[in-house]
């Protein structure tokens, strides 16, 4: 019999936890013996009462500032070995009995591996609403894996020396936790302080260095952020790791934010390693544009439209086509520009250019 435990840690999440549990409970009820475990880490609102009213098993935990320890505590209270870790501000999308069946079959076909859920986030950056979809390890067998890290914790084999295995879990969640620039910045400041403490214990850990760099970028300290990324790049790294791909894209944008456009061309040297990532190729297109290398920019944007891996919505379609249209318009190739703008569908900036061009 297949069963699993949803494990969540919560503090003052009364705004989200009810909706979160409501979204996941239909999946839980499809499998006898499955459950939702909520560990409250010191709420002063009615988070605990809402969780219990929604059918969750509730435990209390004294917060120590270490997210991995809290998640592992929640895992220890589960009745099942299969664990699905969910955050309170994430809501399961599009539940169906067919999805439940696919979920079970996928898990059973991948024993001993980490299931990567899709987390969809909407946020505003530079006045534009962006949507991203990221793969994050959330489903695992607690006999094989546990969480490690004070913050931005990630799953590692229990012996810490084993190799992680991964598979795509057919579950997608809508994430609402970082929907304003101010909130993202305040959380980045908090996270950076915790990560710096963790770095004292693990001074060369590439994942910790990456996360600190990412916090700096979110705080708009682009110089410090790219400096941390460069410390990671000095090590031997696996380009197939999702966080490494994320870092390389962020590194390029960080250099551009500093107006270091010629320096950003250094990323040409590793394009072969990341050309299957649309976010990376789109970023390379912007780097080429800012260096007035327009033919190279168009080639990069077209490669982005063919790449299978992407995070930010549109980098492999309308955003890439829009930038090609801008290049062709600047060159005076109005008919070509219109053709690419039309490929953008309902994308507002492209339609504005079409109206302007008549």
Return d(Cα 103, Cα 221) in angstroms, integer: 41
- 276 against 1, higher pLDDT: 276
pLDDT of residue 88: 95
Return d(Cα 134, Cα 132) in angstroms, integer: 6
* Own/partner long-range contacts of 153-162 (Cβ < 8 Å, ≥24 apart): 153/67, 153/68, 153/71, 154/207, 155/114
Which of 42, 54, 55, 57 lies closest to 10 in space, CA to CA? 42
Give yes or no for residue 180 having a pLDDT over 70: no
Which architecture characterizes domain 5-179 according to CATH? Answer: Alpha-Beta Complex (3.90)
pTM of the predicted model, to two decimals? 0.80
Give yes or no for residue 84 having a pLDDT over 90: yes
Rounded to 5 degrees, what are φ and ψ at 34?
-80, 165
Give yes or no for residue 114 having a pLDDT over 70: yes
Provide mean pLDDT across the span 163-173.
Answer: 91
Confidence of residue 240 (pLDDT cuts 50, 70, 90): confident
Return d(Cα 226, Cα 70) in angstroms, integer: 31
Give yes or no for residue 284 having a pLDDT over 80: yes
Give yes or no for residue 126 having a pLDDT over 70: no
pLDDT of residue 134: 86
Confidence of residue 271 (pLDDT cuts 50, 70, 90): very high
pLDDT of residue 282: 98
Which of 255, 160, 260, 183 lies closest to 213 in space, CA to CA? 255
Give yes or no for residue 346 having a pLDDT over 90: yes
Provide mean pLDDT across the span 227-234.
Answer: 96
Q: Quick one: tokens of 65?
A: 């500032």
Q: What angle do CA 147, 246, 99 make, to 5 degrees?
A: 65
pLDDT of residue 355: 95
pLDDT of residue 125: 65
| Whether 197 contacts 150, CB under 8 Å | yes
Q: List the beta bridge partners of residue 167.
A: 115
Confidence of residue 270 (pLDDT cuts 50, 70, 90): very high
Provide mean pLDDT across the span 24-35.
Answer: 97
In the chain, what are the domain boundaries?
A: 5-179
- What is the chain's mean pLDDT, rounded? 93
* Range in 123-137, 159-173, 272-286 with the lowest mean pLDDT: 123-137
Give yes or no for residue 152 having a pLDDT over 70: no
Return d(Cα 42, Cα 223) in angstroms, integer: 36
Give yes or no for residue 293 having a pLDDT over 90: yes
Give yes or no for residue 111 having a pLDDT over 90: yes
| Whether 287 contacts 258, CB under 8 Å | no
Which of 152, 253, 240 lies closest to 193 in space, CA to CA? 152
Give yes or no for residue 28 having a pLDDT over 70: yes
Which of 99, 122, 124, 119 lies closest to 27 in space, CA to CA? 99
Give yes or no for residue 298 having a pLDDT over 70: yes
- 123 against 24, higher pLDDT: 24
Provide mean pLDDT across the span 108-131.
Answer: 84
Q: Quick one: tokens of 63?
A: 């917060």
């Amino acid at each position: 019999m297949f069963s699993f435990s949803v494990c969540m840690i919560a503090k003052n999440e009364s705004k989200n936890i009810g909706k979160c549990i409501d979204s996941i409970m239909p999946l839980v009820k499809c499998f006898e013996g499955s459950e939702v475990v909520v560990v409250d880490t010191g709420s002063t609102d009615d988070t605990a009462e809402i969780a219990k009213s929604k059918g969750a098993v509730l435990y209390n935990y004294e917060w120590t500032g270490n997210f991995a320890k809290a998640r592992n505590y929640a895992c220890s209270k589960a009745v099942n070995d299969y664990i699905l870790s969910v955050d309170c501000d994430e809501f399961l999308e599009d539940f169906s009995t067919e999805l439940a069946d696919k979920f079970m079959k996928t898990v059973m076909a991948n024993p001993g591996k980490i299931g990567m859920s899709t987390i969809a986030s909407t946020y505003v950056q530079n006045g534009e609403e962006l949507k991203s979809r990221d793969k994050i390890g959330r489903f695992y067998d607690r006999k094989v894996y546990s969480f490690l890290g004070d913050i931005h914790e990630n799953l590692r084999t229990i012996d810490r020396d084993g190799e992680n295995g991964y598979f795509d879990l057919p579950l997608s969640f809508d994430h609402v936790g970082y929907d304003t620039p101010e909130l993202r910045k305040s959380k980045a400041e908090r996270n950076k302080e915790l990560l710096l403490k963790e770095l004292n214990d693990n001074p060369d850990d590439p994942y910790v260095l990456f996360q600190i760099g990412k916090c700096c970028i979110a705080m708009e300290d682009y110089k410090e952020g790219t400096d941390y990324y460069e410390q990671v790049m000095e090590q031997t790294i696996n380009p197939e790791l999702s966080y490494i791909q994320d870092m390389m894209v962020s590194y390029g944008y960080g250099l551009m934010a500093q107006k270091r456009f010629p320096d950003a061309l250094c990323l040409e040297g590793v394009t072969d390693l990341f050309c299957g990532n649309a976010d990376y190729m789109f970023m390379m297109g912007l780097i080429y544009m800012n260096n007035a290398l327009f033919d190279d920019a168009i080639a990069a944007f077209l490669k982005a439209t063919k790449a299978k891996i992407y995070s930010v919505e549109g980098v492999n379609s309308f955003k890439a086509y829009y930038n090609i249209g801008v290049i062709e318009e600047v060159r005076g190739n109005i008919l070509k520009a219109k053709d690419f703008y039309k490929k953008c569908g309902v994308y507002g900036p492209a339609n504005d250019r079409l109206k302007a061009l008549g």
